[in-house]
Amino acid sequence: MAEQVADEGNLTDGFNLVIDALKLNDINTIYNVPGIPITDLGRYMQAAGMRVLSFRHEQNAGYAAAIAGYLTQKPGVCMTVSAPGFLNGLTALAHATTNCFPMILISGSSEREIVDLQQGDYEEMDQLAIAKPLCKAAYRVLHAEDIGIGIARAIRSAVSGRPGGVYLDFPAKLLAQTMDAAAGEQSLVQVIDAAPRQLPAPESVARALDVLKGAERPLIILGKGAAYAQADDAIRAFVEKSGVPYLPMSMAKGLLPDTHPQSAGAARSLALKESDTVMLIGARLNWLLSHGKGRTWGDKPKKFIQVDIEPREMDSNVEIAAPVVGDIGSCIAALLDGMGDNWSAPSADWTGAIREKVETNVARMGPRLQNNNIPMNYQGALGALRTIIKERPDAILVNEGANTLDFARSIIDMYKPRKRLDVGTWGVMGVGMGTAIAAAVETGNQVLAIEGDSAFGFSGMEIETICRYELPVCVVVFNNGGIYQGAGVNPSGGSDPATTVFVKDSRYDKMMEAFGGVGVNATSPDELSQAVNAAMDSGKPTLVNAVIDETAGTESGRIGNLNPQRVVAQKT
Ligand code: ADP
Ligand code: TPW
Ligand code: MG
């Protein structure tokens, strides 16, 4: 370890100031990959009592920081080396921004003088310029006395308003810069009220209630912004008082239990198609809701009410009849207040039709989830895991893949808020292990990661990290031998495998054993159940290789319609 010379006398240095500024703002966990120029910073952080988790790839450290931000409402911090490390972390920073998760990417960089004259420094890159379009804000700190203000700006930018990713550039020389210790201490900034409440205008609340009251077939859609807001009790009270059926978006599942009588989850198509008025709470009308387009009821366009902290989100895709701009906690409190004591629920025709559809669909699904087929199909395997989550509602479910994602989302009921973490707005593969690690670190809860075999491959090396930190993570790899299916063939008849298939009969469980974790090969729902329950009882890092029928999945899961369709015959 380099000698920390500035710790003595009346001098301090950049290392100390970064650590003190983070700790002053209650940021005590860092997700990183060490190297020049931040190796010692990580060591000094650890020495100062911070938790510094070292990953095998920056992208995974970044995804960990992003989801830590979502879970805690404080920016998750990822720290990387310059150029390649920075770029590896940047995907996660962009992902955090896209998903409205507060995150800070701190990267070491080369000296400005060399970068700007393009003189070819070690890992030279104009990182600030590259980060800018991919995040909410990007700052560079050149002087030790500005570290406090730089970190304060980064925190406030990440969490205030619509949360997002912030890039913080620390040129190597900054860390070793010294200054008077007392002046250094005074330069630190404690961010007061980092995400101030944003109260909605009273008239916007009244307008929203009018539109909702006038609806014949209203529907509430809860998004992950609602889950992020941690206004769980108020949201539940509002939904219950309104009597309106609701649909949770993927990561909002569990905000109210999926078994709630007002949940339209199992009647999603009907609810989306037949509603005349939709109230969005922390959910965007993006591709996941078909941009709100083509959505009519009878021959009239649907009406939309939208509750969101970002004013520019309104009218992004269709006209919003009643925009309510503010933080969800304040907005829902105002809406509840405005409803008074005589709010009448929507007609029983509408709520009854949804309920009936939910019950039919649930009853139809039941027997399929109990099949004991070998090899397993998605229903059999997920039926087993569904029971485990029901019995252990505090466990955090991490989920990625195509079929593995789509089936798990619809089959596994969630019971508590922020317990389902997945691919988010981009549908990105590779979030799995970083997300699982941060979920375990930030909450201390047991984590169950349900991973397509392809999805797992993007971050699989982090199982070493899971073993190293002895985290209570059970990874289940849905091994169907490929992307969507394992049964593809090379259309040319050549000897290369098809583009979507992997090595047959792989044993991902043996990877876990290589690092001292528990590995289990499960070929039936019973074996799967047993292995996952044992993992959750023991809390030991475990990987279960769940053998899935290679023909069970469909192309692109449930979004195959988004694939471009070829109209011209192939030239050979
Ligand atoms: P989903 O994918 O679940 O539909 P989105 O990520 O599309 O959710 O939407 C989340 C929305 O929530 C964003 O438009 C964001 O501005 C908003 N949001 C995030 N946090 C808050 C908050 N505290 N108060 C109000 N709106 C919020
Ligand atoms: C960063 C494209 C979407 S889903 C998927 C890929 C590669 C893998 C599906 O196979 P998996 O699941 O995980 O085995 P299953 O059950 O259907 O077999 N690169 C990134 N993100 C995305 N979304 C892709 C590629 C993709
Ligand atoms: Mg697969």
Residue 165 CB less than 6 A away from ligand 2: no
Cβ–Cβ < 8 Å for 459, 475: no
Structural domain includes residue 552: no
User: Has residue 571 been placed in a domain?
Assistant: no
480 lines ligand 2 (CB under 6 A): yes
pLDDT in tens, 146-186: 999 999 999 999 999 999 999 999 999 999 999 999 999 99
Q: Taking a C-beta distance cutoff of 8 angstroms, is the pair 317, 291 a contact?
A: yes
Peptide bond into 196 cis (omega under 30): no
What string of H, E and C letters represents the secondary structure of 280-306? EECCCCCHHHHHHCCCEECCEECEEEE
Is 159 strand, coil or helix? helix
Mean pLDDT of 525-531: 98
pLDDT at residue 1 in the model: 46
User: Which one, of 201, 211, 257, 236, lies nearest residue 336 by Cα?
Assistant: 236
Of the chain, the percentage scoring pLDDT greater than 70 comes to: 97
Does residue 294 have a pLDDT over 90?
no
- DSSP summary character for residue 560: G
Is residue 179 located within the same domain as residue 225?
no
Q: Indicate whether 209 and 171 sit together in one domain.
A: no
What is the DSSP annotation of 109-130? E--HHHHHTT---TT---HHHH
Is 32 part of a structural domain of the chain?
yes
Return the structure tokens found at 210.
């009018």
Give the DSSP H or E segment for 219. Answer: strand 218-222
Instruction: Give the number of the atom of ligand 1 that is nearest the alpha carbon of residue 99.
Output: 6
Question: What spatial distance separates the first Cα and last Cα of the chain, rounded to whole Å?
Answer: 61
Give the CA angle between residues 487, 422, 556 to the nearest 5°: 30
Q: Which residue has the tokens 């710790």?
A: 7
Does residue 8 surpass a pLDDT of 90? Answer: no
- Statement to judge: residues 19 and 158 lie in one domain: yes
If pLDDT is split at 50, 70 and 90, which confidence band does 363 have?
Answer: very high
Return the ∠ at Cα 437 (arms to 423 and 265), rounded to 5°: 35
Q: Give 428-454 pLDDT, tens digit per residue.
A: 999 999 999 999 999 999 999 999 999
Average pLDDT over residues 350-361: 98
Q: 139 CB less than 6 Å from ligand 2?
A: no
Residue 30 has pLDDT above 90, yes or no: yes
Strands 303-308 and 277-281: parallel
Q: Does 215 share its domain with 162?
A: no
Q: Give the CATH number for residue 91.
A: 3.40.50.970
Last residue of a domain, which of 119, 154, 187?
187
The reply to whether 568 falls in a domain is no
Do residues 300 and 387 both lie within one domain? no
pLDDT at position 13 over 90:
yes
For residue 458, the ligand 2 atom closest to its alpha carbon is 1
- Centre of ligand 3 to C-alpha 190, Å, is 47
Whether residues 298 and 412 fall in one domain: no
402 lines ligand 2 (CB under 6 A): yes
Q: In the predicted model, is pLDDT for residue 2 greater than 60?
A: no
Ligand nearest to the CA of 406: 2
In whole angstroms, what separates CA 120 from the centre of its chain? 37
- For residues 6-33, give the mean pLDDT: 92
Residues 291 and 338 in one domain: yes
Please say if the pLDDT value at position 313 is more than 60.
Answer: yes
* 139 vs 129: CA distance, rounded Å: 10
> What is each CA distance from 145 to 13, 166, 176, 262, in whole angstroms?
9, 20, 12, 55
- Which domain-ending residue is among 153, 187, 221? 187
pLDDT digits (tens, 9 = 90+) for 217-227: 999 999 999 99
Parent domain of 335: 202-360
For the stretch 96-126, pLDDT in tens is 999 999 999 999 999 999 999 999 999 999 9
pLDDT of residue 497: 97
Do 393 and 539 fall within a single domain?
yes
Q: Which residues pair with 263 in a beta bridge?
A: 246
Is 332 a member of any domain?
Answer: yes
Gap between the Cα atoms of 211 and 418, Å rounded: 29
Chain centroid to CA 486: 27
Over residues 530-563, the pLDDT tens digits come to 999 999 999 999 999 999 999 999 999 999 989 9
Q: pLDDT at residue 6 above 80?
A: no
- pLDDT of 570: 83
Q: In the Cβ-directed half-sphere of 207, how many Cα atoms lie within 13 Å?
A: 16
**H, E, C per residue of 12-81:** EEHHHHHHHHHHHCCCCEEEECCCCCCHHHHHHHHHCCCEEEECCCHHHHHHHHHHHHHHHCCCEEEEEC
- DSSP-derived secondary structure letter, 553: -
**Which pLDDT tens digit goes with each residue over 502-513?**
999 999 999 999
Give percent above pLDDT 90 in the chain.
94
Whether residue 554 is contained in a domain is answered as: no
Are 175 and 236 in the same domain? no
pLDDT at 297 over 80: no
Cα torsion through 481, 484, 490, 495, rounded to 10: -20
Residues 230 and 260 occupy one common structural domain: yes
pLDDT of residue 86 exceeding 50, the answer is: yes
Residue 29 belongs to some domain of the structure: yes
- Residue that terminates a domain, selected from 331, 360, 389: 360
The CATH number for 336's domain is 3.40.50.1220
Assigned domain for 303 exists: yes
Q: Which atom of ligand 2 is nearest to the CA of 485?
A: 18
Q: How far is it, in rounded angstroms, from Cα 107 to Cα 294?
A: 44
* pLDDT given at position 9: 73
Tally of structural domains, the chain: 3
- Do 179 and 46 lie in a common domain? yes
The amino acid sitting at 93 is L
pLDDT at 539: 98
Q: Is 217 exposed, middle or buried (0-12, 13-18, 19+ CB in 10 A)?
A: buried
Check whether residue 65 and residue 181 sit in a common domain: yes
Q: Give 372-428 pLDDT, tens digit per residue.
A: 999 999 999 999 999 999 999 999 999 999 999 999 999 999 999 999 999 999 999
The pLDDT value recorded for residue 301 is: 87
Cα-to-centroid distance, 353 and ligand 3 (Å): 36
Mean pLDDT of all residues in the chain?
96
Read off the pTM.
0.97
